[in-house]
Structure 1
């Protein structure tokens, strides 16, 4: 079968097309004929060797797939095995969820990691309450674009989107954001305060880390919560002084999807909810560029260079 294999850690240049034998499925696994594989920032971290949890060489990247298995059209994560950048993949049966006919491959893939992340950020980590103000950083990206919509669906009183360009801010407004502002750390807190009539945000969702995360912290209202779920800026990890948090009763949380999926009600149920909302056209996953499997390197380059919006997919 055709596949992308990584034999040494590095940048997009280490994503090499190759021919491999199809995987041999074991007990509790499904052999899935992959119709599309998702591309994520986490894939770039696996490729360069920086991913939390580690990766053993050589490996086939890709942890989210949609395809056919024994007559079913299924969506599945491959966190335990990786292997999605290929024509066939072995998927854990307990991770395979049926996809409604009304949901296309790209939309389904956008819901798997990005959608589940957005759901858990708002429900499990931030514990969003109706009427609260939510700031969503990188609001035109995979997680951000869904978080904007879900925050509204879950009853947020105001959603403030941040993004780096006017076009991306326009996308966020079209998805339901009440206000869209520049995400540059310089002046970030002031822009959030201006957008919220000086009150600040109850919740900030941040995937950039570094200076942007610290600026988000400054923009919180009393008892506000910041949830960080990445370090896309590749800046050093910022330190947070607990005594400074106490002055306004602020909270900072970190989120990683992998352990959250193993919690009771943490995977199948929210994913089924997201698929149903999409099938009913109440949720609009943003699908970006589509690449042939052999152009996985270009997909990673575009993702890292911030040349993309929405979900990037590879098509075997």
Structure 2
């Protein structure tokens, strides 16, 4: 079969021939891949920098996708661990890691949105003790996952959602997606004024932006004993930061992570049907860009527009 094949962590995947995966266990089925999203998580696997990377090459990237069985079922699925990735003509699906999509579903929208939407959906529903009426700050709200986080926080009942980022054009876009307020991260003081008393922070950035935002928010809180849950989801700015110890003593701050390994697989899978239903409802703003799988090398390096997610079509 043809697939996107990584033969060096220093180069983009190339469209090439790769051995077709074989079904090997109960509950597995071979599907024709209909669409697979090019997510940041996919990129980090393909360049060997993701924390789950084992450094084995060659490999086919892709962690999820939409595929069709020989019986005509349309499935959204998360690729089994250590399996051939989803950026290929065919993939093996473990039905325990898949949901059946209803007739009329747009497979491209699902492939584009499920992975980035899952990051905030799982964080709010499985990691934070978030309740309707709470308030949420999204750090890195101008990225694809951050834009969806703004929309999903509102959907889950947040009374106030604040989007923070550094791209003026993308910040303006957030106000059309449900953000009650947007803040430029170049000004920690403005962030503190707007978001000092939020209940949850969804952090897609880490590094220097978080180093600046965290003390600014905590110093400005009207009641430092009021719990603040800071959820580390992404590291778009940096993988590390310096955390002054006094911040953990001076306020009721809880720092947790949300991602592969911190949430049981069965909990993630339990959330897929509801999230798939929401995505297929058309209530979320999703902006996929279709690219033929044969053009994967060019798609890998071409910049995307605000809110756009590349979806590869075999």
Shift of residue 82, structure 1, vs aligned partner: 4.0
Partner of 1:232: 236
Partner of 1:52: 51
**Structure 2 runs not aligned, ≥5 long:** none
Please state whether the residue corresponding to 2:310 is helix, strand or coil: strand
Worse-superposed segment, 219-228 or 152-161 = 219-228
The correspondence for 1:214, drawn from 211, 223, 228, is 211
Shift of residue 96, structure 1, vs aligned partner: 1.6
Worse-superposed segment, 133-142 or 206-215 = 133-142
Residues 188-199 of structure 1 aligned to structure 2 (within 5 Å):
188=188, 190-196=189-195, 199=196
Please state whether the residue corresponding to 2:268 is helix, strand or coil: coil
Instruction: State TM-score, norm by structure 2.
Output: 0.88
Please state whether the residue corresponding to 2:263 is helix, strand or coil: helix
Partner of 1:9: 9
Please state whether the residue corresponding to 1:14 is helix, strand or coil: coil
Shift of residue 106, structure 1, vs aligned partner: 2.5
Distance in 2, Cα, partners of 1:49 & 1:192 = 34
Q: How many residue pairs end up in the alignment?
A: 303
Instruction: State TM-score, norm by structure 1.
Output: 0.88
Distance in 2, Cα, partners of 1:311 & 1:116 = 14
CA deviation string 1:87-132 (max 9, x = no partner): 1111222112111234312221234322222111112222223322
Shift of residue 309, structure 1, vs aligned partner: 2.2
Please state whether the residue corresponding to 1:201 is helix, strand or coil: coil
Partner of 1:134: 136
Runs of 4 or more above 6 Å deviation? none
Q: Is the 8 A contact 1:103 1:278 kept in 2?
A: no
Distance in 1, Cα, partners of 2:80 & 2:213 = 30
**Structure 1 runs not aligned, ≥5 long:** none
Distance in 2, Cα, partners of 1:89 & 1:249 = 46
Shift of residue 175, structure 1, vs aligned partner: 1.2
Q: Is the 8 A contact 1:74 1:96 kept in 2?
A: yes
Partner of 1:97: 99
Distance in 1, Cα, partners of 2:61 & 2:255 = 31
Residues 275-290 of structure 1 aligned to structure 2 (within 5 Å):
275-281=276-282, 283-290=283-290
Distance in 1, Cα, partners of 2:199 & 2:106 = 34
Distance 1:310 1:73, change over 3 A: same
Residue 314 (structure 1) aligned with residue 312 (structure 2): yes
Distance 1:278 1:42, change over 3 A: closer
Residue 39 (structure 1) aligned with residue 38 (structure 2): yes
Partner of 2:256: 253
Residue 76 (structure 1) aligned with residue 73 (structure 2): no
Partner of 2:246: 243
CA deviation string 1:183-216 (max 9, x = no partner): 33xx23x1223324xx432211111110112233
Please state whether the residue corresponding to 1:61 is helix, strand or coil: coil
Distance in 1, Cα, partners of 2:24 & 2:287 = 33
Q: Is the 8 A contact 2:106 2:280 kept in 1?
A: no
Aligned alpha-carbon RMSD (Å): 2.1
Shift of residue 261, structure 1, vs aligned partner: 4.9
Q: Is the 8 A contact 2:170 2:306 kept in 1?
A: no
The correspondence for 1:148, drawn from 125, 146, 150, is 150
CA deviation string 1:163-195 (max 9, x = no partner): 3323212321111110112233xx23x122332
Q: Is the 8 A contact 1:206 1:226 kept in 2?
A: yes
Q: Is the 8 A contact 2:177 2:285 kept in 1?
A: no
